[in-house]
Amino acid sequence: MPILPTISTPSDLRALSIEQLEELAGEIRQSIIEQVSRSGGHLAPNLGVVELTIAMHRVFDFSNDRLLFDVGHQCYPHKILTGRGDKLSKLRTREGMSGFPEPSESAFDLFRVGHAGTAISTAVGMARGDTLNRQGYDPESNPNGRRVVSLIGDGSIVNGVAMEGLNNAGMLARQFLVVLNDNGMSISKPQGAMAQYFDRVRVSHTYSDFKKGASVLLKKVPGGGLLREAYHRMGEMTKAAISEDSWFEKFGLLTVGPIDGHDLRTLIEFLTEARDIDRPMVLHVKTTKGKGLDVAEQDATKFHSPKAFTVERSENAGCKVEMAPSGRSFTSAFGDAMVEMMKRDEKVVVATAAMPDGTGINKAIHAFPDRSFDTGICESHAMDMMAGMAKCGLKPFFAVYSTFLQRAFDQAFQEAALQGLAVRLCLDRAGLVGEDGAVHHGFCDVSLLRTLPDAVLMAAIDEPSLLASLAFMNEWEAGLSAVRYPRDSVSSMLSDTDCPAFELGKARLLTPDHADLDSSRPDVAVLAFGTPAVAALQAAKQLEGEYTIAVYDARFAKPIDKHLVGQLLQRQIPILLVEDHSIVGGFGSAVLECAHELGLDTSRIVRHGIPDRWILQDSRDDQLSEVGLDREGLVRMIRHAADPYSKLPVEHAVRARAEQDTETTGASCERS
């Protein structure tokens, strides 16, 4: 009889034997494999933490204790064990469960977590908060108080914020446990000296080595006298695994391990002893990413977050994996373009922060290993490194997801833009990203970067325009530049049309019939920034015979095409501004500011973009439909722009859950 259907709360785990827990681990693992093979999702990282998650919930009571995830894509087993198994069948959709910790789903999830390196710091905050509220665990005064556990791993320990968290964690005078899931990976192979250190630890230390130096370590650690007391309360197994040469010991954290992260009996024994240690400590757990699915174990990068797939096995052909088909992506187009650019120009260098496959620069790393860099999960460092290379006369391109650019904004400001250095930002996953949801949307890169003097901000609408923007950036030496493009397939709609070169601050007319605004005055002009230009062309075609519509690929959010804006407003042509970016501070705001500077009436301008609210997980197509950035949504918006006295039709109300705001897309559309 299956065990998983009998688990309704984590407390049910305490009635199971080790053998039953091992069976349960197999059932959880199989349910994750079956679902991700159908829908896609984060596979290898979740398979690697099944036993660890079971053991933590068996030992701790996280209805009272605190569990904080770092890289949140390791949360599927946790969600299954905390009453959300019925939502797994609709993983990463609005009706199902998010692929990341989500407090609106369960009280067991404390933070929405999608960016790495944060768990230790938020855990330190909760530990201090519980202590101040007199709710924290203390073996003498409050043995039933809240314990705090942070689960960090998948390469995120190298993040700078994690270092800051560790530096403060060592000062806590209370229970505080960091569980380090060391799987030898992040999304791809981890980079840097710390990764090499953990590699050495995994292969060199034995339990006898740890035991030999345990007492010496405890004399060295700050507060050693108190730690010696804790040490004597610990069992022989934990004593045997204390590291005398732990990197974490330098932060003042008692360190235990590494231990086998797939041995449930050992995990439970170690966690049980660690649970009541009244000093901050690290439990170093060694796991295998992709555990339980051989193809994922062999290629954890490919199966980190795969699309839907099938695995076919035969005696003759072996194992064959088929991924769900899709069109050519912007990421692939960018990766190929970088290789060609690096062939032509030896000064071009490229870097990413732990996303070589996700950004496409794995191709450049293979072709030009001396000029291609993966820094690990260190966006701030990568930005500063690019600034240093620009200072040396090189042409650095930093390939980074739009959502992760936020982590390096200070460096973009201080070390790049302020210095006038030509660092080039290639912003993948711009706009709505689909199933990863709110934690990963790239909705504020324009509003952030356009505050920087002399920055040049562009968007691509298809592969030829991406290539043209990169060519422009390669020659632009006056300061910071950026191009944004979505997690999507490139459109072939304009494949029969020549793509002109990018000229600073010049939009591109996509409807040639309106080249002369005086002789062919359109009813509406659509200025679209990025891929919504393609949907705008489709909408314009659908409205033929009802309105004449001029569609422009704006190309630049900074500088704005002042000449075009002036022409349209002086002729009193209604303008619809469209962007796959927040309505707050984005391209539309930049055009309004431009019109104001020109002293022109803005009453015929309508802005349309991502509304000022969180867009939850779903397919990218469904999200675009929800906010009215698909063809049908733009048909309605063009009609609205053409008639300044019309109201937005009721059918354009955003699709949302009952508990969410159900206002119409007036939330994402503003007439100025």
Active site residue 463: no
> Of residues 379, 415, 463, 579, which has the active-site annotation?
379
Token reading at 262: 């797939």
d(CA 651, CA 556): 32
pLDDT in tens, 478-494: 999 999 999 999 999 99
pLDDT in tens, 33-63: 999 999 998 998 999 999 999 999 999 999 9
Q: What's the CA dihedral at 307, 368, 455, 385 to 10 degrees?
A: 100
The b/e string for 134-147 (b: 16+ C-beta within 10 A; e otherwise) is: eebbeeeeeeebbb
CATH class of 330-484: alpha beta
Beta bridge partners of 401: 428
Q: Which range, of 250-254, 258-262, 492-496, 556-560, averages the lowest pLDDT?
A: 250-254
Q: Which range, of 186-195, 259-268, 347-356, averages the lowest pLDDT?
A: 186-195
Domain ranges (residues) in the chain: 4-286, 330-484, 508-671
Active site residue 347: no
* Domain 508-671 in the same topology as domain 4-286: yes
pLDDT in tens, 241-256: 565 556 788 888 888 8
Active site residue 289: yes
**Mean pLDDT over residues 391-413, rounded?**
97
d(CA 181, CA 154): 7
d(CA 100, CA 79): 9
**Exposed / middle / buried, residue 349 (Cβ in 10 Å: 0-12, 13-18, 19+):** buried
Is domain 508-671 in CATH 3.40.50.920, yes or no? yes
Using N-to-C axis directions, what is the helix angle for 18-39 and 50-59, rounded to 10°? 130
* CB atoms near residue 106 (< 10 Å): 16
pLDDT of residue 665: 40
d(CA 432, CA 610): 8
d(CA 591, CA 600): 11
pLDDT in tens, 503-541: 999 999 999 999 888 888 999 999 999 999 999 999 999
**Mean pLDDT over residues 564-579, rounded?**
97
d(CA 99, CA 80): 12
Contacts 24+ apart (CB under 8 A), 649-654: 652/628, 654/611, 654/626, 654/627, 654/628
Confidence of residue 643 (pLDDT cuts 50, 70, 90): confident
* CB atoms near residue 350 (< 10 Å): 30
CATH class of 4-286: alpha beta
d(CA 578, CA 533): 8
> Of residues 289, 395, 487, 508, which has the active-site annotation?
289
How much of the chain is in helix, strand and coil states, percent to nearest 5?
A: 40, 15, 40
Give the CA angle between residues 115, 47, 125 to the nearest 5°: 35
Nearest to residue 370, comparing CAs of 386, 383, 351? Answer: 351
pLDDT in tens, 598-610: 999 999 999 999 9
607: enclosing H helix or E strand: strand 605-610
pLDDT of residue 208: 37
Nearest to residue 66, comparing CAs of 194, 172, 222, 204? Answer: 172
DSSP three-state, residue 47: helix
**Mean pLDDT over residues 77-82, rounded?**
96
Determine the residue type at 72.
Answer: G
Dihedral sign of CA atoms 556, 561, 567, 572 in order: positive
DSSP characters over 420-474 = T---EEEEET-B--STTGGGT-B-SHHHHHTTSTT-EEEE-SSHHHHHHHHHHHH
**Exposed / middle / buried, residue 125 (Cβ in 10 Å: 0-12, 13-18, 19+):** middle
Token reading at 172: 């806590």
Cα separation values, 561 from 84, 219, 457, 537, 669, Å: 50, 67, 12, 20, 21
Evaluate if residue 99 carries a pLDDT over 60. Answer: yes
> Of residues 407, 508, 555, 631, which has the active-site annotation?
407
The b/e string for 57-67 (b: 16+ C-beta within 10 A; e otherwise) is: bbbbebeebbb
Q: Are 506 and 556 in contact (CB under 8 A)?
A: yes
